[in-house]
């Protein structure tokens, strides 16, 4: 577990001392998070350190984002992402405004640039859950307030941060851990590869032929891994991929927007199902992970997702804490923590 990042003076004032967090707070204030690749390894570590601290000591942050306004504009359905962002800012003194874009995708009614120029005048942060990743990058390019990727067809950075926070809780560190992802080389896979590499984990990705992760992301992840003394492997055999794994992760085989491929994908992904036989090849201490929602009986069996090895609901809980840490850093909230002690 990460060490405490607050020291309490005799007068009761909480003071941040961790150099990673201080540096990240200075660097990230006002910045966007479109991709995990936007962050340095030290910034990823800082977000997770702060996430652990916020989880242990939530009361210290209850006024950190007083009067801050955040808009959530979602083109896709959501449970964990919406509620964790809303609860996160609300419990730190701010406010969330939800705009349902499922019937009217961003850029359809007016240009994304014009939307950005309006929003920046009313709110302090824009959180987007979209289909096209270009929607997020275009919003960020035209907005003077931070834009956060809450899921696109290319990445899901907030999910990956929560996932590796959960790994740190269970293993103490992600460094040198053997992390295996089995399934579609999708947006979640991309962010997991990048985050694992940033934290020094050995990442193995097993996908069917033709469903590998994007080569650009693979290249970036491997460059990061080389700098951090770990590796990123791509395989097409799930049996080999999970051998000795400390964490086995899967996701749905048909992501939102690809429902028309369900019939085609079903037989292709059947050998990649995470079941008891596959988990038996992993390390004895292995945990099972899934970003949820899960299609039980497809990419994972009930016996695995409901087993003692499963930490899927810990992952879901940590969406709240990792995102609170992210909000604090992007919105400069740490400056307010001491004020209200």
pLDDT on residue 206 = 98
The upper half-sphere exposure of residue 318, i.e. CA atoms within 13 Å in the direction of its Cβ, equals 28
* pLDDT at 11 > cutoff 90: no
* pLDDT at 340 > cutoff 90: no
Q: Is 270 annotated as catalytic?
A: no
pLDDT on residue 19 = 87
Q: Is 189 annotated as catalytic?
A: no
pLDDT 10s digits, 260-279: 788 899 999 999 999 999 99
Q: Is 260 annotated as catalytic?
A: no
Catalytic residue among 52, 80, 290, 319: 319
pLDDT on residue 267 = 95
Measured from the Cβ of residue 33, the count of other Cβ atoms closer than 10 Å reads: 25
- pLDDT above 90 coverage of the chain, percent: 89
Catalytic residue among 45, 82, 129, 222: 129
pLDDT on residue 14 = 42
Q: Is 82 annotated as catalytic?
A: no
Q: Is 121 annotated as catalytic?
A: no
* pLDDT at 55 > cutoff 70: yes
pLDDT on residue 15 = 41
341 — pLDDT class (breaks 50, 70, 90): low
Contact 290, 250 (CB under 8 A): yes
- pLDDT above 70 coverage of the chain, percent: 93
8 — pLDDT class (breaks 50, 70, 90): very low
Catalytic residue among 198, 251, 273, 323: 251
**Whole-prediction pTM value?**
0.94
Judged on CB neighbours under 10 Å (0-12, 13-18, 19+), 35 is buried
pLDDT on residue 4 = 39
Going from N- to C-terminal start, the domains of the chain cover 6-155+319-334, 159-316
pLDDT on residue 338 = 66
Query: What secondary structure, in 3-state letters, does the chain show?
Result: CCCCCEEECCCCCEEECCHHHHHHHHHHCCCCECCHHHCCHHHHHHHHHHHHHHHHCHHHHCCCCCCCEEEEEECCCCCHHHHHHHHHHHCCCCEEEEEECCCCCCCCCCCHHHHHHHHCCCCCEEEEECCCHHHHHHHHHHCCCCEEECCCCCCCHHHHHHHHHHHHHHHCCCCCCEEEEECCCCHHHHHHHHHHHHCCCEEEEECCCCCCCCHHHHHHHHHHHHHCCCCEEEECCHHHHCCCCCEEEECCCCCCCCHHHHHHHHHHHHHHCECHHHHCCCCCCCEEEECCCCCECCCECHHHHCCCCECHHHHHHHHHHHHHHHHHHHCCHHHHCHHHC
Measure the CA–CA gap between 55 and 212, rounded to whole angstroms.
35
Give yes or no on whether 6-155+319-334 and 159-316 have one common fold.
Answer: yes
Catalytic residue among 80, 133, 156, 290: 156
Give the pLDDT mean for 183-209: 98
Catalytic residue among 159, 273, 315, 323: 159
For the domain bounded by 6-155+319-334, which CATH number is listed? 3.40.50.1370
pLDDT on residue 1 = 38
pLDDT 10s digits, 79-91: 999 999 999 999 9
Q: Is 159 annotated as catalytic?
A: yes
Measured from the Cβ of residue 303, the count of other Cβ atoms closer than 10 Å reads: 11
13 vs 279, higher pLDDT: 279
Both tokens of 311, joined, read: 């930490």
Catalytic residue among 52, 230, 291, 323: 291
* pLDDT at 7 > cutoff 70: no
pLDDT on residue 300 = 98
Q: What's the CATH fold of domain 159-316?
A: Rossmann fold (3.40.50)
pLDDT 10s digits, 315-326: 999 999 999 999
């Amino acid at each position: 577990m990460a060490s405490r990042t607050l020291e309490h003076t005799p007068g009761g004032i909480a003071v941040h001392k961790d150099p990673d967090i201080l540096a990240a707070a200075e660097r990230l204030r006002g910045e966007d998070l479109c991709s995990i690749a936007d962050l340095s390894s030290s910034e990823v570590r800082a977000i997770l350190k702060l996430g652990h601290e916020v989880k242990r000591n939530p009361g210290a942050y209850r006024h950190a984002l007083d009067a801050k306004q955040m808009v959530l504009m979602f083109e896709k359905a959501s449970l964990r992402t919406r509620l964790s962002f809303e609860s996160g800012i609300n419990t730190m003194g701010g406010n969330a405004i939800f705009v349902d874009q499922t019937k009217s995708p961003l850029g359809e009614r007016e240009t994304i640039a014009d939307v950005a120029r309006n929003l920046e005048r009313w709110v302090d942060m824009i959180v987007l859950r979209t289909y096209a990743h270009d929607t997020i990058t275009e919003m960020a390019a035209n907005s003077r307030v931070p834009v956060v990727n809450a899921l696109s067809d290319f990445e899901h950075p907030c999910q990956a941060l929560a996932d590796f926070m959960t790994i740190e809780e269970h293993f103490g560190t992600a460094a040198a851990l053997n992390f295996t992802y089995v399934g579609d080389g999708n947006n979640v896979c991309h962010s997991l590869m990048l985050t694992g590499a940033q934290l020094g984990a050995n990442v193995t990705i097993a996908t069917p032929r033709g469903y590998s992760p994007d080569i650009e992301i693979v290249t970036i992840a491997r460059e990061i891994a080389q700098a951090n003394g770990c590796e990123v492997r791509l395989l097409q055999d799930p049996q080999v991929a999970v051998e000795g794994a400390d964490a086995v992760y899967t996701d749905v085989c048909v992501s939102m927007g690809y429902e028309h491929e369900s019939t085609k994908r079903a037989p292709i992904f059947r050998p990649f199902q995470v079941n008891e036989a596959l988990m038996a090849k992993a390390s004895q201490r292995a945990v099972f992970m899934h970003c949820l929602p899960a299609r039980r009986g497809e990419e994972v069996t009930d016996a695995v997702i409901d087993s003692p090895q499963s930490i899927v609901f810990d992952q879901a809980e940590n969406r709240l804490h990792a995102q609170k840490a992210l909000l604090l850093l992007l919105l400069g909230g740490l400056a307010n923590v001491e004020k209200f002690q």
